Amino acid sequence: MSDKAHAQSGVRYGMAIDLDKCTGCMACSVACQAENNISFRPDESNKLRSITWMEVYLLDNKKDYPDYQFTYLPRPCMHCDAPHHSPCTFVCPVNATTRDEHNGIVTHIYPRCIGCRYCIVACPYHARDFNWWDPKWPKSMEAMLSPEVSPRMRGVVEKCTFCHHRMLKARSKAYNEGSDPDQITYVPACAEACPTGAIKFGNLHDPQSEVAKLAKDPRAFRILAKLHTEPKVFYLSKYQWVHKLSDNGLGEAAH
């Protein structure tokens, strides 16, 4: 990697998820599964044991009625923006996962991945999954697979890509129209599917973008912010217990 690769440009794709708007319907998760050709197993009752790029967690404040409160938390890949490396790209021995310093997207190249799973261990957000089995779909579903995303083989790691194939298509369109491909905006499948508009996506470096404004909202927080992984996925919640939970006790330990 040259020094040039670390120079940041004007584009930084990020996401803002409003937990106060999230109803936990999991449309984002389903849309992601369909968009990215994620295969499934006969028993999908335990999502922690299957491949899900957009995981939806149920959090509660551990109090009894009438103080009981809960919230849902959709979790894509955070596309960590820590200087030089994300936790996963730092440990990859074969450079299969790298961060594009031009737009901040952390990518994973499946044929290069050797399946060592260091990145899964390194990721503080459990955003990565390992393909223990060959991807399989019922015969009748094969025609529904998206040609925009290549399916992953057994033995490699995969994760959310911020639907970068949609970015490539949008860039292609911009090239064809003669406009600046770096000025494009696109919408990932999860944000498109969200019925309440809880998921917003855009360029964090563009002060006019909705996602940049939401990132500066007083309700905004990032998960495990104290680890300084600099996630590019921001969450919004009006509840302090949610903010506190996002630290996972790191805040208390520091005091």
Partner 1 sequence: MKENKSGGSGSTLGIIAFFAGLIVSLVVGWVVFPNLLYSQKTQPMNFSHVAHQDTSCEDCHVFRDDGTYGGVPKLAKCKECHESQMGQTKDEQLLVEEYVQKDREIPWKIYAYQPDNVYFSHAAHKGKVECVQCHRDVVKEEKTPVYFENKLTGYSKQTMKMDECEKCHADKGGSNNCEICHK
Residues found near partner 1 in the complex (CB under 8 A): 98, 100-102, 105, 107, 109-111, 148-151, 161, 164-165, 168-169, 171-177, 181
Q: How far is the CB of 67 from partner 1 (least distance, A)?
A: 46
Nearer to partner 1, 158 or 247 (CB): 158
Q: Which is nearer to partner 1, 110 or 118 (CB)?
A: 110
Tell the smallest beta-carbon distance from residue 162 to partner 1 (Å).
9
Give the C-alpha separation, 183 to 170, whole Å: 10
- Cβ–Cβ under 8 Å, residues 242 and 71: yes
Contact (CB, 8 A) for 135 and 37: yes
In the complex, least distance from residue 105 CB atom to partner 1, rounded to whole angstroms: 6
Of residues 71 and 103, the one with the C-beta less far from partner 1:
103
CA distance 255 to 194: 38
Closer residue to partner 1, CB minimum distance, 39 or 107:
107
Chain Cα centroid distance, residue 110: 17
CB of 164 to partner 1, least distance (A): 5
Task: Quote the CA–CA distance of 250 and 178 in Å, as a whole number.
Answer: 49
Cβ at position 205, least distance to partner 1 in Å: 17
Output 169 or 243, the one with its CB closest to partner 1. 169
- For residue 133, give the DSSP letter: S
Report how far residue 32's alpha carbon sits from residue 165's, in angstroms, rounded to the nearest whole number: 13
Q: What is the bridge-based pairing of β-strands 55-60 and 70-75?
A: antiparallel
Which run of H or E residues covers position 190?
helix 189-193
